[in-house]
Amino acid sequence: MTPTNLLVPTYRNMLQTLSGLLDKAQQQMSARSEAMPAARLVADMFPLAAQVRFAAFQAQEAVFRLRDERVPDWLNTVAAEGRNASSAPGTIADAKARIDDALTFLADVPGDALDAGRDLPITIELPGGMTFDMTGEQYLRDWALPQFYFHVVTAYAILRSHGLEIGKADYVPHMFAYLCPGSMIEA
C-alpha cells in the first residue's frame, strides 16, 4: 500500500464521518446544537470546534509535508482557529465548512502525489518548543494517522458524552460498502 492510497481515502472516509456526526448533532439536538462547538470532554481539553479544525488541518498538512512543500498560511489559519476555539468556537456550519474545504482539497490530490515522500526527512515543531525529526514513513505511521484519528475520536466522544445518540456504525459508515448481502442482523 502506498502513502497516497493509505492516507487520502482514510482522511476522506473519516472527514465524511465527522461531517455526518455534526449533521446528526444538528438533527437530534436542534436548539442545543449551536452550543456544541464549545463542548469538551474535560476542562483542560480543546472543545469540539478545535477537534474538527485540527482533523481538517491534519488531513491537509500531511499532503504538503509528504510532497516536501511548505504548509501554506491559509492552512496554518485552520490550525490557529483550532488553538483559539475556546474563545471563538464558531458554529457547526463553520466546522462543516472546514471539513468540506478539506474534502475538496483531498479530491484534487493525484493518485501518487505522496508516494515519493516516504523517505523524506520531516520535522515537526510544536508550540512550546518540542521538535520531532523523522522520515516520511515514520511521520505517516507515527504522527499523521494517530494525530488525525485522535481528533476524530475525541470529536465523537464529545458529541456522545453530551447526549448525541450515536454508535459504532455512525463512526464507520464507510464499512457498509463492504457488507456481505444477507449478513445484516435485523433488530
Give the pLDDT confidence score for residue 159 in this predicted structure: 95
95 residue type, one letter: A
pLDDT of 45 reads: 95
- Please report the pLDDT score of residue 182 as a whole number: 83
Under the banding of pLDDT at 50, 70 and 90, the label for residue 184 is: confident
168 contacts: CB under 8 Å, gap ≥ 6: none
- The model's pLDDT over 26-77, given as tens digits with 9 standing for 90+, comes to 988 877 777 889 999 999 999 999 999 999 999 999 999 999 999 999 999 9
What does DSSP assign to residue 68? T
Q: What is the pLDDT of residue 186?
A: 65
Q: Where would I find the beta strands (DSSP E) of the chain?
A: 121-125, 131-135
Instruction: Please state, rounded to an integer, the average pLDDT across all residues of the chain.
Output: 94
Domain extent listing, the chain: 3-177
Residue 31 has a pLDDT of 73
**Fold for the domain defined by 3-177:** Four Helix Bundle (Hemerythrin (Met), subunit A) (1.20.120)
pLDDT tens digits, 8-19:
999 999 999 999
What was the pLDDT predicted at 126? 86
pLDDT for residue 7 is more than 90: yes
pLDDT of residue 34: 78
The answer to whether the Cα torsion of 12, 18, 21, 23 is positive or negative is negative
The confidence score (pLDDT) of residue 58 equals: 97
Angle (CA) 38 44 49, round 5°: 25
Cα–Cα distance list, 146 to 23, 41, 55, 124, 154 (Å): 24, 19, 11, 14, 12
At 169 the pLDDT is 92
pLDDT computed for residue 187 by the predictor = 57
pLDDT at 33: 73
Instruction: Residue 171: count other Cβ atoms within 10 Å of its Cβ.
Output: 18
Is the pLDDT confidence value at 84 over 80? yes
Q: How confident is the model at residue 78 (pLDDT cuts 50, 70, 90)?
A: very high
In percent, the amount of the chain with pLDDT more than 90 equals 85
Q: Which residues pair with 133 in a beta bridge?
A: 123
